[in-house]
Amino acid sequence: MKLKHWMNASLGLGATLLSSHSIWAAPSNDKYFGLDVKITAQSEDDRDLGTRDGGDVQGLGLDVRPWVYGQRGNWSAYAMGQAVSASDIIETDTLQPNALDGDSASRNDSRQPDKSYLALREFWVGYSGLTAYPGEELRFGRQRLRNDDSQWRDTNIEALNWTFDTTLLRANLGVAERFSEYRSDIDELAPEDEDRLHLFADAATQWTPGHWLGVNAHHSRDDGQLRSTGEAVDDLDKRTTGDLTWLGLSANSDAYNFRNQNPVNYWASVAWLSGERERLDTTGSGDQRIASGKQSGDVNAWGTDLGLRLRLDPSWQVGAAYARGSGGGSDDGSGNYQQTGLQSNRSNFTGTRSRVHRFGEAFRGELSNLQAATLFGSWQVREDYDASLVYHRLWRVDGEQPIGDSGINASLVNGDKDLGQEVDLVVTKYFKQGLLPASMSQAIDEPSALMRFRGGVFKPGDAYGSEADSLMHRAFVDVIWRY
């Protein structure tokens, strides 16, 4: 595709811009190169809930990310690399998809992660001279795309993206497609990313101080091919294709901004999904899967996320939330809502600087045939400490349909809706502020240094059957320093 050829051209242009010292002379009050160092300890018990061998993780990892940034007039360029070395296959990157979490990854060697690897996280060229507004920029290359609730986009992907960010109006317009993982240990794309083009747009206006109304649109076109009846199917073969369109409406009180001091914060969003989807049916077991036919049909589904947070005093907040992604509708699952495939579902919904998974640090669900009720409390002292305690209750909407992607790698029992419940704890201590250039403040989530514990304990429900373990946990300790 032309987009891929343009992407290759941008790599050469970005390298030229970044290597030209005379053009990219950094102002004395800004920093244009640096090194992010992250040490992660992970403990995880039975993501397969004891139904298969393996599934445990106990390890320590070092993640080093050198970066360079250049700016001259309206032009800018940025690149970040990554080198990871660990004692086990652990998660040092919160943007890493569930499909690369060790035992839940593909059995095909080309998608099997290694303990140590090299990666290229971002490389882009930006231009901010299309309008006179300071919050406007056009970026081309592999970049971080993210919206506030991260339920539409939160990933590093090759894209052409225009951003308009002012006091009263925020907007994005772009096109994206994943061509590679840019990791030394991963040779192939996940099947759901292969030959899949994304078009997206959103706009939000501050209709009254501190209150935003927004609209989102997203279209994905999957041109991949499904196996024909009788052909063998492996882990890298597509199971679904289709053209899907999402339209969404949202309202919030700047609820994802941890600095706001509103006594009451709220968020509300609803999205509709329509289009055509084709699914591959298979027979057999284990590694021996054979295509047995295809199901195709129109999609008509919806999802919603609602939340309310109350500030008890300057440090303490409490809140509740409810989310539902429709399920069922027919045997082919045409009523099953699914997210765009670019989401992380990590956001500041608890009211702190720390981003927490909306559907559980252990369960890590996707809003597809899922219903989640959430209670939480949070604590924040200036910008030195924060903590969030979160409880989730989870169900399937349709007990006969799958739930989409999650952090649990275990089979579901037909007819049972009770997925289980979870308690999460995220605690962070922040250190030394102000080492990052102001120009990168929107692209990097954290301050200069921190120590964080994030973990969840998941208790499976009847939908996972009587053979499942009674508890599963996933916990991390992260230490981050930015030079």
Using an 8 Å Cβ cutoff, are 205 and 211 in contact? no
Question: Which helix (H) or strand (E) segment is 389 a member of?
Answer: strand 385-396
**Residues 304-332: what's their mean pLDDT?**
92
Structure confidence at residue 233 (pLDDT) = 84
| Main-chain dihedrals φ then ψ at residue 455, nearest 5 degrees | -160, 160
Domains of the chain and CATH, by start: 35-482 (2.40.160.100)
Burial of 22 (0-12, 13-18, 19+ CB in 10 A): exposed
Residues 6+ away with beta carbon under 8 Å from 50? 467, 468, 469
Give dist(CA 476, CA 455) in Å, integer.
6
Q: Give dist(CA 78, CA 33) in Å, integer.
A: 9
Mean pLDDT value across residues 182-204: 95
Q: Which stretches of 239-334 are assigned E, i.e. beta strand? A: 240-252, 264-285, 288-311, 316-325
What is the greatest pairwise CA distance in the chain? 67
Q: How many CB atoms lie within 10 A of CB 29?
A: 7
Mean pLDDT across 110-133? 93
Q: How many angstroms separate the CA atoms of 415 and 256, rounded? A: 37
Residues 117 and 185 sit within 8 Å (Cβ to Cβ): yes
In angstroms, the CA 102 to CA 44 distance is 11
Q: Which residue has the higher pLDDT, 445 or 338?
A: 338
Using the predicted structure, report yes or no on whether residue 12 has a pLDDT greater than 50: no
Minimal CA–CA distance to 177: which of 367, 9, 7? 7
Q: Which residue has the higher pLDDT, 305 or 327?
A: 305
Q: Which helix (H) or strand (E) holds 233?
A: strand 232-233
Identify the pLDDT of residue 230: 80
Take residue 21 and report the two structure tokens written for it.
Answer: 């010292």
Predicted confidence (pLDDT) per residue in 348-379, tens digit? 999 999 999 999 999 999 999 999 999 999 99
Residues 399, 417 contacting (CB under 8 angstroms): yes
| pLDDT at position 417 | 95
Q: DSSP letter at 99?
A: G
411: tokens are: 């089979």
pLDDT at res. 43 = 95
pLDDT score for 331? 63
Q: How confident is the model at residue 37 (pLDDT cuts 50, 70, 90)?
A: very high
Strand partners of residue 61: 40, 86
Q: Using pLDDT thresholds of 50, 70 and 90, give the confidence band for residue 476.
A: very high
* C-alpha–C-alpha distance, residues 60 and 474, integer Å: 14
